[in-house]
Chains A and B, each alone.
Chain A
Amino acid sequence: MKSTKKTKVISIVLDGKPFEVPPGGTLGLLALGNIGIRAWKKSKAEWLKNKENDTEEK
């Protein structure tokens, strides 16, 4: 089950608006190139870290 606890949302600003980055990525993020991939990899790392913490707590 997906963890929601302690999840830090990674966001990037696109056209002046914040865009929340899902840890699974999106095609749009890949198409953004460097900034999209950095944001996605960061979001995924955060999600994995939270998942590990959840498992340890259980």
Chain B
Amino acid sequence: MTQKKNKVLLVGWDSADWKVIDKLMAKGLMPSIKSIVDNGVRGKIATLDPPLSPMLWTSMATGVRPFKHGVLGFVEHDGAGGVRPVSSHSRKVKAIWNMLTMEGLKSNVVGWWPSNPVESINGCMVSNLFQQEKNGKETIDVEDWDVPEGAVFPERLIERLKELRVHPSEISGNLVMPFVPNAIALDKKKDKRLTVICKFLAHASTIHAAATEILETEPWDFMAVYHDALDHFSHAFMKFYPPKMEGMEEESYELFKEVVIGAYVFHDMMLGRLLAMVDDDTTVVVVSDHGFHSDHLRPTHVPQVPSGPAIEHAPYGMFAARGPGIKKGERIYGASILDVTPTLLSLFDLPIGRDMDGKPLLEIYENPKEIKYIDSWENNTNFGGELVVKSKGDKSTNEAAMQQLIDLGYIDDLNLDTESEDPTESLNLILKENNFYLAKSFANGGKYDEALEILLEIENKKKPDFRHLVDIVSCALKTKRFQLAEEYLKYIRTNKIASDNYVDVMEAKVNIGLNMPDQAMKFLKKAEKNQPDTTEILMELGTLLNNLFETKKARECFEKVVKTDVDNAYAQYGIGISYLREENYEEALEYFLNAIDRNYYYPLAHFHLGETLALMKEYDAAIGTFELVRTMSPELLKIYRWLLDLYSIKEDRVNIKKYEEIISKYHLGEKIIITGLPGRKIEKVLSELAKLGLEIGGDPTDILGGKIEVLDKDWFSKINEKIIYVPINYIASLSAKYSFRILYINDELDTVIDDTHKKIKRKNNTFDADLIEMYSKHERVARTWMSHQPNLDILYINNYKELSSLIVSKFLN
């Protein structure tokens, strides 16, 4: 007999954000979610780009990115020359409820966006159009209000659920009062803001009523309920949420400052009811698809472009879970919305598809969980449920849902009612917009080539779209197509499509990519002069200055960012890097901890914290930190070097063996590097080594590194010789895939300057401040970098005569 599986209840709150929830929990206003947090785990959950809800909730239900699942944007082609709200027709892969159906488990799914038409799964489905009360632009009277086609499965539930719906006209003044205590001062019929509260409340209540009815009367193993209301409430009223935004009119602020609070409290009340209906053996998961800016990061205006309101979305949503076998009162880190389906499958002890983009959140479990994998859930031809409606859907329902999206600002008004409107043009606009989202999804998944191909196809210089052009530039930069990036930046600047400052920052990035830091600096300085306190400019400038070891100036940039946004983890990290490069470990430690405190899932901050601890000889703490980085970002190869180094110091043989084995898997061998300031001494050393019959890789005649192909990331890997000359300014770009022995030739700066002058035929004793500054910096950077690396042995020599010494001979062999 198979053991009874525990049930799983998944509650989706669109755009729920911990910043608001934490404040309300502290005031005792959200006891239901607090009970989950206290008795389970909580964490931030990373969204995807673009942060558009139908794409995100489909990723959540499938475990794959939008370019795999096919749901793109808010509307889609209806297959008959028209457009309709995005539907389940677009989804190309199985959702969790299809997988559970294939396994004989019962799923009840209510309100998921998009889920119309519903599917004939093993269980019940109520679609996201069930609560719709519009007929095109007109509101249907409550007496004539039918359930749209394809909104409920099985059909036997329609009559029962129909009577549980709440029409916006049924929402009376006393129901609005908790949201707008002084609603009496407003005319409900005239003030649209009260009308939308009634509508959002009616829709949320309808979804909740259907969910509770099904929960109470239908068998289930998995139940999913999705509410879009928090997102709608937040887009309409977050601007009134305390503290008052600058420029907000006092009267409106006072009237509507409680709306968002009321919306969150109401969702908690609904959650309380759901919790009361499930037993203690049920795992409950509450999740949002993205966060919502509720503080000083609230934008002051929303761009007038399709999906413009998404600018208000914050990159991290909320995740909370409680149930048997789940940790209590703990935090989890590093969750993504892609992880939800793999985690649900793990809760049912079902295998995870290797083709899924997400991972199971194993940190939620009290005890280690054994995870099973299959190649793909798609290999089985049984889909686990068929769409109950094959047609393009009811015209009026589609138009009503489209109108709601127009009202929310997510799509442009395409004048769908106008018979004379050219339908081909509307359709083309929709397809173009969806292709743009497809490109963004590719870029978000690191597939920049695919993204660029689509962007270049949809871009139209006759009707330029700022969003397409900036993404072309970004993808061109990521794929190192610097010429293409420059071409588009020139076009953007000439046609004034974006601000000069934006172009300057992007030009700086091009120049950084071209290894032309001085040019990059000029652009950033210009941008900074025009807009001195812009976070993006300051961050770019600070990062560049840190890379140039101009640490004090870098710190000034990051400190300005921190002054306006103390929670900017990246600026805190930048300050930490500046101190680390100055070998001021105490200060560096503090700022890396600050960064981690604000964004725990920040592998680079943990990595540099580990380095700092190691350099402070806090070996145990450093080991603990690097072990953590290993779980967060196993592709950072240098952590294995550090761990091997640290375990060697601790003489921990078991771990030494473990990390030697790991390193041997990616290790490409050992290289001997000759480097030093580009003067006479190093030239002599190189020629003496050649006389000894040693083959020297790199180009020993290229003493200043001018011939190195800076655009080729793998220039070093292409050199086969064991001994390689690396110009001093390229030392810091050595790959962690090798271990190194560095023979460093000490030379006097004055002599090297003289030697350089001779080469460029200038008189000796000419004071060249720029050259002195450049060589000093190269030497400082190289020496600091070398002192921080776990995978090198360094031998310093003063002249070529030492090559014959035993110690050097041994070192070179």
Contact = CB atoms under 8 A, between A and B. Distances in A.
The reply to whether chain A is a binding partner of chain B is: yes
Interface of A: 22, 24-28, 30-38, 41
Contacts of B544: none
A1 to B, nearest CB: 17
Q: Which 7 residue pairs spanning A and B have beta carbons closest together?
A: A33-B212, A31-B269, A34-B213, A30-B205, A34-B212, A24-B172, A37-B209
Contacts of B209: 33-34, 36-37
Interface in B173-200: 173-175, 178
A27 to B, nearest CB: 5
Contacts of B216: 34
B273 A24 contact: no
Given A37-B164, A38-B164, A30 B175 contact: yes
Given A37-B164, A38-B164, A31 B172 contact: no
Contacts of A22: 174
Contact of B269 (A24, A28, A38): A28
Given A30-B204, A35-B212, 10 more contacts: A24-B174, A25-B170, A27-B269, A30-B208, A30-B266, A31-B208, A31-B269, A32-B212, A34-B210, A37-B209
A29 B212 CA distance: 12
Contact of A31 (B163, B173, B270): B270
Contacts of A34: 164, 209-210, 212-213, 216
B325 interface: no
B273 A25 contact: no
Which has the most chain B C-beta neighbours within 10 Å: A22, A31, A36, A37?
A31
B272 interface: yes
A31 B265 CA distance: 10
B166 interface: yes
Interface string B256-271: 0000000000100110
B201 interface: yes
A38 B270 CA distance: 16
A24 B173 CA distance: 8
B164 A30 contact: no
Nearest to A38: B164
Helix, strand, loop or mixed for chain A's interface?
helix
B211 interface: yes
A24 B176 CA distance: 11
A38 B208 CA distance: 13
Nearest to B268: A31
Interface string B261-297: 0000010011011000000000000000000000000
Contacts of B273: 31-33
Nearest to B274: A33
Contact of B211 (A26, A27, A28, A33): A33
Contacts of B173: 24
Interface residues of B, number: 24
Interface of B: 163-164, 166, 170, 172-175, 178, 201, 204-205, 208-213, 216, 266, 269-270, 272-273
A35 B173 CA distance: 21
A25 B269 contact: no
B261 to A, nearest CB: 13
Given A35-B212, A37-B209, A30 B166 contact: yes
Contacts of A32: 212, 273
6 contacts: A24-B174, A25-B174, A30-B166, A30-B175, A31-B270, A34-B209
A28 B266 CA distance: 8
A36 B273 CA distance: 10
A33 B216 CA distance: 11
B272 A26 contact: no
Nearest to A22: B174
A26 B170 CA distance: 12
Contact of B272 (A25, A31, A38): A31
- Scoring B172, B205, B213, B272 by chain A CB atoms within 10 A of each residue's CB, the highest score goes to B205
A27 B175 contact: yes
Which of A24, A27, A32, A38 is packed against the most chain B CB atoms within 10 Å?
A27
Contact of B174 (A26, A36, A41): A26
A6 B205 CA distance: 30
Nearest to A15: B276
Query: In the complex, which of the residues B178, B269, B273 has the most CB atoms of chain A within 10 Å of its own CB atom?
Result: B273
Nearest to B262: A27
A32 B270 CA distance: 7
B338 to A, nearest CB: 30
A57 B201 CA distance: 36
Contact of B266 (A31, A33, A38): A31
Central interface residue in B204, B208, B266, B272, by most chain A CB within 10 Å: B208
A22 B201 CA distance: 18
B178 A27 contact: yes
Contacts of A25: 170, 172, 174-175
Contacts of A26: 174-175
A32 B164 CA distance: 12
A12 to B, nearest CB: 13
Nearest to B206: A37
A22 B172 CA distance: 12
A13 B201 CA distance: 24
Contacts of A36: 209
A32 B210 CA distance: 11
B174 A37 contact: no
Contact of B201 (A30, A38, A41): A30
Nearest to B161: A34
Nearest to B202: A30
Contacts of A33: 208-209, 211-213, 270, 273
Contacts of B270: 31, 33
B266 A27 contact: yes
A23 to B, nearest CB: 9
A50 B362 CA distance: 59
A27 B201 CA distance: 9
Contacts of B212: 32-35
B166 A37 contact: yes
A47 to B, nearest CB: 12
A36 B272 CA distance: 14
> Which of A24, A35, A37 has the most chain B CB atoms inside 10 A of its CB?
A37
A35 B276 CA distance: 13
A30 to B, nearest CB: 4
Nearest to A37: B209
A41 B208 contact: no
Most chain B CB within 10 A, of A25, A26, A33, is at A33
Nearest to A31: B269
Contacts of A28: 269
Contacts of B164: 34, 37-38
Contacts of B174: 22, 24-26
A49 to B, nearest CB: 16
Contacts of B211: 33
Contacts of A37: 164, 166, 205, 209
Nearest to A23: B172
Nearest to B174: A24
A39 B431 CA distance: 46
Contacts of B205: 30, 37
B502 to A, nearest CB: 46
Contacts of A24: 172-175
A25 B169 CA distance: 13
Contacts of B201: 30
